Structure 1
Amino acid sequence: MPAYIDIIKSEDYSAIRRIFEDNRPAYMSGANGYTIDQAKEEYFVESHSVMNKDISHRPDKTIWKPVLNEATGEQVMDADGNPKKTRSTAKVNRVPVPMPEIIVNRRVGFLLGNPVKYNVVFDENKPKEKALVDYVYEIEDSAKIDYKNKEIARRMMSEMACAELWYLTKVKEKGFWNYVASRIGIKAPLYSVKMKVFSPLLGDSLYPLFDGYGDLIAFARAYKLKEDEKEVDYFDVYTAEITYKYTNRDTEWKLDTEATNGGKVTNLTQKIPVIFHQQEKPEWANVQRMIERLEKLLSNHADMNDYFGEPILAIFGHLIQAVNKGESGKILQLAENAKASFLALESPPESIKMEIENLEKFIFALSQTPNISFSEMKSLGDLSGVALELMFLDAHLAARAKEEIFGIGIQRRVNLIKAFIGNVLDVSLKEASETVKMKPVFTPYMPKNMKEFVETMVQSVAGGILSTVTVTEKMEDEGFIADSVQEQERLQEEADAVAKRNNLIGLNLQ
């Protein structure tokens, strides 16, 4: 594997591009049975197979109608004596169902409905370590990380791959960062750390390069930018030591001399500034066949309703006089032995209804997605906390399983941010950046029975199991109160006021 780094250092673009192409991830090569184009078609409803008019999917119907003589009503023949026919196309119904989008959105909701927190291990007696932890939180908050986490997870689950680039930029909001510096006890920073998301649907081709142990040793991104009404190709290569920027402006790939430092920038953190997230298949892969079958049934059923939803009068024999629209006391005049009746299905399509219900049930169950539509939830009533936990157990298990891959990326991110702080932003915190441990903690979203929760907390305090401090902290975690410290101060003020009032009453009684 060291040979890969040597090739990258050689700045031979053709050789560099070759090693990344030869080690393309599964989402690009289709080695896992899925390509990004296939995932895109399945995710967006407008490109579902039921919307495809190709003959191998769901073509519109071709109808041949005989040409009749307007005067006699007899069929017109061509010169060869064959019946003349006209060709027309009848559009079939197409009912796409956004199941992949629902599956992804609900998985993201359960995984990140509660923001990711950190289990932090540091020495509280060392101000530098406390300052580093606060600095990490400020950088993440500035990057709007809670919202970015959801975007990254959604892209990973639907596109199978995405990446986040962390980079330095000169501080523009000096007032804000000066305030942050004075509050957490650091020097005012000259640079801030920003984050940008890359993904296939954003126009990026992502090339991670791993060693034999699965560690990321380099990362590349191919993309296009418009310059002077012309699209220009770029290829950026990130290593722990240097970032290389190649471009093809004049039919030749070379380092971008117009970029910073001639297209070669030293990575001061000594870490690859990219976090790569990937999974083998999109979130709905195991139920895709069922989704396609459901869409086909719904579309066919819509066609059937168009044919039989409105009454059709069939006349067997000769019709002497029809009924005009709007007449009251309508009568049909038929010739002898003629009959008239409405066409109707002999039996309702119960088997179709049952299959649709089964497909819907299995799609939700096998993708570990809760069916929380209004029609499903309205009859449940007031559920206890235990009942809610059991109801959403499968969704929680799926969210916990997703931590296996998404959590690794979050851990790498916080380690990278610590490296930015200790190596670039404030070197006085370098030792703290190496000793402080921050581990991401996920809390899957769970609807709460707040009445039951509050009653449990009150009983815990009354029973001497929990202190009021712990209870207020838990109340803050659940969003019941805004600031646990402020709430504790208010409780103490109220207790002091009650004690003072009782003392005054006691003095008056003496």
Structure 2
Amino acid sequence: MEKEEIDGLIDTPKELVEAVTELTPEIPAYVYDIEPEDHKAVKDLNYRPWRDVQVATGITDAQGNMTYREEKKDVHRIPSNTQKQITEWAVRMALSGGIEIEAYVREGNATDETMLAMLKKTWEDNKIDYIAQKIDKLKKNYTQCLVVWYSEALEPGDEFWADISPNSRFKMRCSIFSPEDGDIIIPIYDQYKKMIGCARKYTVKVDKKDIKKMDLFLADKYIIYAEAEGGWKIEDTKPITYGKANFVYHGQKRPQYADVLPKIERVEEVDSDTADENQQSAFPILAATGEITASAGGGTKNTRKTFMMAEGGDLKYVEAKGSQQSAKDERENLRRDIYDETNTPQISMEQIKGSSNIPGVAIEMMFLPATNQAKSDQQGDLGMEWQRHLNFLKSAMAVINVGVKASVSMAVKPKFKIELPRNLTEEYNRIISLVAAGLMSVRTAIAKLGIVDNIDEEIIAIEKEVAARAALAPRVTPPVTE
């Protein structure tokens, strides 16, 4: 859809809404069933129907044979949370280290320093390190998420900017929209795949009536359309004064677990079938050969149940000889493939039992597939999405404080960090060895250890302790030579 086409339809709401709606991305229905209790193995009775069972009535027919009636009995329904695990791991690997703002402040440029301080204050105030994970999780499950930035006036006496930009009276906030809350997000691209706008369709309740609405975000304006009795109409139009569109679209083509979903569903089916089978055959069955003429006991704590058999009769337990190996092997293969094919670490307490001091290189190798995927994400769509946030916020800061307008050209980018489990003993010993060998300064060592807040104070404390120990050490008098 071209910008000229949008401009030509803006004043004809019905045609515009219809044209934009045709661009709605297709979202698989199963993404709304992410919770285990909503999985097909649990809710879909066509997928796992109730089974027919024959129940004895206690009444015999004319020939003395027991009669039976047919009843419906539910089957076992064992879901897993594998989809959530895959999504959680992907998000945590890419974003658990937070997103820092890396800026190239030009030497002697005071406005660059102010711009960077304003960006960091906005970043911190909006808790980006936390909401970034929420946004990415929504994207990786629902394939899309929309973040909209807007300005908010400061309350009288609110010194939000303090010494950074004391005369500024606005700050930036952001809202998050996704299919999780019933929103339909529609990105709008031109023929060159450049995003020229984005729409959000949703429903609100007004006077106990559901009203359909559509917000259209463009580079220079934000328009709200509402459906009324006479059709769609423009409810409100607001200009965008930042020089850039105030939205960032986070999207991907498929849910994070889409490739392995059939295997996950098969694991749930195998687990459910195994539970059904165990219900029938896991406990021993007492089989009689011949006629039982009498039975006694079993009614008290210390009495065994006894049976009297007719001549030639016998009693024995019939029980399954182990599990079905083919089903066990299939499940193990499926679980391994699911985690391997999605680069998801499969680490359980059972697997790491007895491994209290895993070398650092072994930890890195264990997480290598997940680390590579996270780096690919950070250097791809994830990095570009957060670069767009920073580009927009630079323009917004220049509106809030016109004094930093010259610093809109300052280069900034998001900086990601991947957090892995650490072998602290190994790291500390390596740092201590480097200091002892004179290959690392005490200051650098303290910084790398990361266990103190103020390095300068720690160095002063160390020097005082060294001097105190030296003062208490016995003086060695050199021998007198004649």
Name the TM-score, length of structure 2 as normaliser: 0.90
* Residues 1:4 and 2:8 are matched in the alignment: no
* Residues 1:271 and 2:272 are matched in the alignment: no
Cα deviations by residue, 1:428-448 (Å, 9 ceiling, x for unpaired):
1111122x1111122222111
- Is the 8 Å Cα contact of residues 143 and 255 (structure 2) preserved in structure 1? yes
Paired position in structure 1 for 2:30: 38
Paired position in structure 1 for 2:137: 154
Paired position in structure 2 for 1:420: 396
**Which range moves more in the overlay, 45-54 or 408-417?**
45-54
Paired position in structure 2 for 1:292: 265
- Is the 8 Å Cα contact of residues 7 and 15 (structure 1) preserved in structure 2? no
Q: Secondary structure at the match of 1:406?
A: helix
1:72 to 1:287, Cα distance in 2 relative to 1, 3 A: same
Higher strand content, 1 or 2: 2
Paired position in structure 1 for 2:18: 18
Alignment partner of 2:381 out of 402, 405, 409:
405
- Is the 8 Å Cα contact of residues 295 and 305 (structure 2) preserved in structure 1? no
Rounded Cα–Cα distance in structure 2 between residues aligned with 1:99 and 1:144:
28
Alignment partner of 1:166 out of 149, 161, 168:
149
Paired position in structure 2 for 1:260: none
Rounded Cα–Cα distance in structure 2 between residues aligned with 1:464 and 1:24:
63
Paired position in structure 2 for 1:458: 432
Aligned-partner residue type, residue 495 of structure 1? E
Paired position in structure 2 for 1:120: 103
Report the alpha carbon displacement of residue 332 of structure 1 after superposing the two structures with TM. 1.3
Report the alpha carbon displacement of residue 498 of structure 1 after superposing the two structures with TM. 5.5
Alignment partner of 1:62 out of 24, 46, 52:
52
Q: Secondary structure at the match of 1:370?
A: coil
Q: Secondary structure at the match of 1:322?
A: strand
Rounded Cα–Cα distance in structure 2 between residues aligned with 1:390 and 1:24:
41
Rounded Cα–Cα distance in structure 2 between residues aligned with 1:250 and 1:237:
21
Rounded Cα–Cα distance in structure 2 between residues aligned with 1:500 and 1:63:
86
Rounded Cα–Cα distance in structure 2 between residues aligned with 1:468 and 1:419:
42
* Residues 1:219 and 2:219 are matched in the alignment: no
- Is the 8 Å Cα contact of residues 53 and 60 (structure 1) preserved in structure 2? no
**Which range moves more in the overlay, 92-101 or 300-309?**
300-309
1:109 to 1:323, Cα distance in 2 relative to 1, 3 A: farther
Alignment partner of 2:293 out of 302, 320, 344:
320
Paired position in structure 1 for 2:405: 430
1:176 to 1:493, Cα distance in 2 relative to 1, 3 A: farther
Paired position in structure 2 for 1:32: none
Paired position in structure 1 for 2:346: 371
Rounded Cα–Cα distance in structure 2 between residues aligned with 1:252 and 1:152:
34
Q: Secondary structure at the match of 1:181?
A: coil
Paired position in structure 2 for 1:488: 456
- In the TM superposition, 1:78-477 aligns within 5 A as 85-172=68-155, 174-177=157-160, 180-182=161-163, 184=164, 186-256=165-235, 263-326=236-299, 328-403=303-378, 404-422=380-398, 424-434=399-409, 436-476=410-450
Rounded Cα–Cα distance in structure 1 between residues aligned with 2:156 and 2:438:
49
Rounded Cα–Cα distance in structure 1 between residues aligned with 2:467 and 2:305:
91
Rounded Cα–Cα distance in structure 2 between residues aligned with 1:360 and 1:114:
28
Q: Secondary structure at the match of 1:88?
A: strand
Q: Secondary structure at the match of 1:340?
A: strand
Q: Secondary structure at the match of 1:63?
A: strand
Matched residue count: 471
Report the alpha carbon displacement of residue 38 of structure 1 after superposing the two structures with TM. 1.8
Report the alpha carbon displacement of residue 62 of structure 1 after superposing the two structures with TM. 1.4
Rounded Cα–Cα distance in structure 2 between residues aligned with 1:464 and 1:213:
58
Rounded Cα–Cα distance in structure 2 between residues aligned with 1:437 and 1:470:
28
Rounded Cα–Cα distance in structure 2 between residues aligned with 1:95 and 1:497:
62
Aligned-partner residue type, residue 455 of structure 1? N
Aligned-partner residue type, residue 206 of structure 2? E
**Which range moves more in the overlay, 101-110 or 379-388?**
379-388
1:167 to 1:293, Cα distance in 2 relative to 1, 3 A: same
Q: Secondary structure at the match of 1:189?
A: coil
- Is the 8 Å Cα contact of residues 472 and 488 (structure 1) preserved in structure 2? no
Aligned-partner residue type, residue 386 of structure 2? I
Rounded Cα–Cα distance in structure 2 between residues aligned with 1:387 and 1:148:
32
Cα deviations by residue, 1:396-448 (Å, 9 ceiling, x for unpaired):
011112221111111101111111101x21011111122x1111122222111
- Is the 8 Å Cα contact of residues 211 and 227 (structure 2) preserved in structure 1? yes
- Is the 8 Å Cα contact of residues 94 and 299 (structure 1) preserved in structure 2? yes
Name the TM-score, length of structure 1 as normaliser: 0.85
Report the alpha carbon displacement of residue 147 of structure 1 after superposing the two structures with TM. 0.9
Q: Secondary structure at the match of 1:147?
A: helix
Rounded Cα–Cα distance in structure 1 between residues aligned with 2:151 and 2:174:
9
Aligned-partner residue type, residue 442 of structure 1? F
Rounded Cα–Cα distance in structure 2 between residues aligned with 1:21 and 1:158:
22
Using the aligned pairs only, state the percent identity: 24
- Is the 8 Å Cα contact of residues 162 and 276 (structure 1) preserved in structure 2? yes
Cα deviations by residue, 1:257-316 (Å, 9 ceiling, x for unpaired):
xxxxxx111101121111111111111112112111111111111112111222221223
**Which range moves more in the overlay, 263-272 or 373-382?**
373-382
